[in-house]
């Protein structure tokens, strides 16, 4: 019996020691990742800024859920304003020779975000530096941003889906009626599209009108910007996109929306030629987060001559939320008193 307990104790002790060793090794690996991630990359001459935009772009830095692996690396999820400031900084940085729009799996938050990024890239090009774009998949927003590049390349086995803009609105009223659910909706006026999916089975005339106005404004801006970048007329771009003539990378090239249909490795050879590198020589790329980390300006938190912006999200005004919103009113009165004090 004593021999049994000795063997059992030795086995348990060995298991515990193994678990402790695995835990310590894991902590050491995580620490090495964190220390490496917190160290800004060293920029060398002929560096190319690589933009992927494969994460959601919040308004403010880190104002969104972070990828756990990204958190370990210590990279910030840059907000739109800091991204634009970083691109502007690269414009005047002699070490940055150009930008690579690596548009494999971009994730954009809306047309306004893409428009702001595109305007920043247009400003970058004024420095005389190059922008090259390459992707396997070009959708509407992806191509709109990529079209700003000096050269737009597509993968031969990729997809080109640029066919205009559309608004899709799901309707739930028939489903709710079958389930016996009655929605209590309060609204005033005709232009109240937010509640239509729960009280109508199709778009109202007013809602169609406001969607059409919005899409026409976006589409006009899209056509004009792409036409300028591709040295075409807006009517030419409208004809290609509206009639879906560029339904593949090859047809996109035929109709002038893409410069060449080549593989990624071919693009790397183009970079080497631009930089005067030898064949197979490693190209110094830097990510947006890495470049920002290496060149982030010191933040000034002083409040002199500054206007504070308070971001708020107001929910739909149901009876419950009216009470919740009423709790915000004291804050507004405090702000009014503050404004009176500083006038």
Averaged pLDDT of the chain: 82
pTM summary value:
0.73
Instruction: Quote the pLDDT of residue 68.
Output: 57
CA–CA separation, 139 vs 143, rounded Å?
Answer: 6
Which three-class secondary structure state does DSSP give residue 342? helix
Q: Residue 76 is encoded by which pair of tokens? A: 């910030």
Residue 85 above 80 pLDDT?
yes
Residue 282: inside a domain = yes
Residues 6+ apart with CB under 8 A from 62: 76, 77, 79
The rounded percent of the chain whose pLDDT value lies above 70 is 74
CB distance 100 to 132 below 8 Å:
yes
* Terminal Cα-to-Cα distance of the chain (whole angstroms): 88
Instruction: Quote the pLDDT of residue 319.
Output: 47
Instruction: Quote the pLDDT of residue 65.
Output: 63
CATH no. for residue 279?
Answer: 3.90.226.10
Residue 133: inside a domain = yes
Q: Which residue, chain included where needed, has tokens 């969104």?
A: 64
Instruction: Quote the pLDDT of residue 22.
Output: 77
pLDDT tens profile 169-183: 999 999 999 999 998
Mean pLDDT of 277-291: 91
CA–CA separation, 237 vs 4, rounded Å?
Answer: 83
Residue 206: inside a domain = no
With cut-offs at 50, 70 and 90, classify the pLDDT of residue 254.
very high
Residue 277: inside a domain = yes
Instruction: Quote the pLDDT of residue 35.
Output: 45
pLDDT tens profile 42-84: 788 899 999 998 888 887 777 666 555 554 555 678 889 899 9
Instruction: Quote the pLDDT of residue 16.
Output: 76
Residue 184: inside a domain = no
| Residue 134: its H or E element | strand 130-138
pLDDT tens profile 182-223: 988 888 888 889 899 999 999 999 999 999 999 999 999 999
Residue 331: inside a domain = no
The number of domains in the chain is 1
Residue 49: inside a domain = yes
With cut-offs at 50, 70 and 90, classify the pLDDT of residue 328.
very low
CA–CA separation, 137 vs 54, rounded Å?
Answer: 13
Residue 175: inside a domain = no
Q: Residue 97 is encoded by which pair of tokens? A: 């020779």
Name the more confident of 302 and 234. Answer: 234
Neighbour-count burial for 284-295, b at 16+ CB within 10 Å, e otherwise: bbbebbbbbbeb
CB distance 146 to 138 below 8 Å:
yes
Residue 236 above 70 pLDDT?
yes
CA–CA separation, 131 vs 196, rounded Å?
Answer: 44
CB distance 36 to 86 below 8 Å:
no
CA–CA separation, 257 vs 125, rounded Å?
Answer: 19
Q: Which residue, chain included where needed, has tokens 């006026």?
A: 189
Residue 61: how many CB atoms within 10 A of its CB? 17
Residue 292 above 70 pLDDT?
yes
Which three-class secondary structure state does DSSP give residue 302? coil
Range of the domain at 253: 42-163+244-299
Geometric angle at alpha carbon 65, from 113 and 329, rounded to 5°: 80
Of residues 95, 91, 86, 101, the one with CA closest to residue 128 = 91
Name the more confident of 125 and 305. Answer: 125
Instruction: Quote the pLDDT of residue 67.
Output: 59
Q: How many residues does the chain have?
A: 343
Residue 336 above 60 pLDDT?
no
């Amino acid at each position: 019996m004593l021999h049994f307990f000795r063997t059992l104790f030795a086995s348990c002790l060995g298991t515990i020691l193994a678990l402790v060793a695995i835990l310590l090794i894991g902590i050491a690996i995580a620490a090495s990742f964190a220390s490496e991630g917190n160290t800004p990359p060293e920029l060398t001459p002929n560096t190319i800024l690589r933009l992927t935009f494969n994460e959601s772009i919040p308004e403010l830095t880190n104002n969104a859920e972070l990828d756990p692996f990204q958190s370990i690396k210590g990279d910030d999820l840059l907000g739109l304003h800091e991204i634009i400031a970083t691109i502007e900084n690269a414009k005047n940085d002699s070490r940055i020779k150009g930008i690579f729009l690596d548009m494999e799996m971009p994730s954009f938050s809306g047309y306004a975000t893409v428009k702001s990024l595109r305007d920043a890239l247009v400003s970058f090009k004024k420095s005389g530096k190059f922008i090259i774009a390459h992707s396997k998949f070009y959708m509407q927003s992806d191509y709109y941003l990529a079209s700003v590049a000096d050269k737009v390349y597509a993968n031969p086995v990729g997809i080109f889906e640029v066919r205009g803009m559309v608004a899709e609105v799901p309707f739930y009223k028939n489903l709710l009626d079958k389930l016996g659910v009655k929605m209590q909706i309060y609204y005033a006026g005709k232009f109240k599209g937010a509640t239509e999916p729960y009280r109508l089975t199709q778009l109202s005339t007013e809602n169609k009108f406001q969607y059409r106005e919005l899409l026409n404004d976006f589409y006009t801006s899209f056509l004009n910007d792409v036409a300028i970048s591709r040295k075409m007329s807006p009517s030419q771009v409208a004809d290609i996109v509206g009639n879906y003539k560029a339904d593949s990378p090859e047809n996109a090239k035929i109709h002038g929306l893409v410069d060449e249909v080549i593989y990624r490795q071919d693009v790397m050879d183009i970079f080497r030629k631009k930089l005067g590198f030898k064949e197979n020589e490693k190209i110094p790329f830097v990510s947006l987060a890495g470049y920002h980390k290496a060149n982030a300006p010191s933040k000034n938190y002083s409040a002199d001559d500054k206007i504070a912006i308070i971001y708020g999200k107001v929910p739909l005004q149901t009876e419950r939320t009216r009470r919740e919103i009423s709790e915000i009113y004291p804050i507004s009165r405090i702000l009014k008193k503050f404004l009176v004090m500083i006038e």
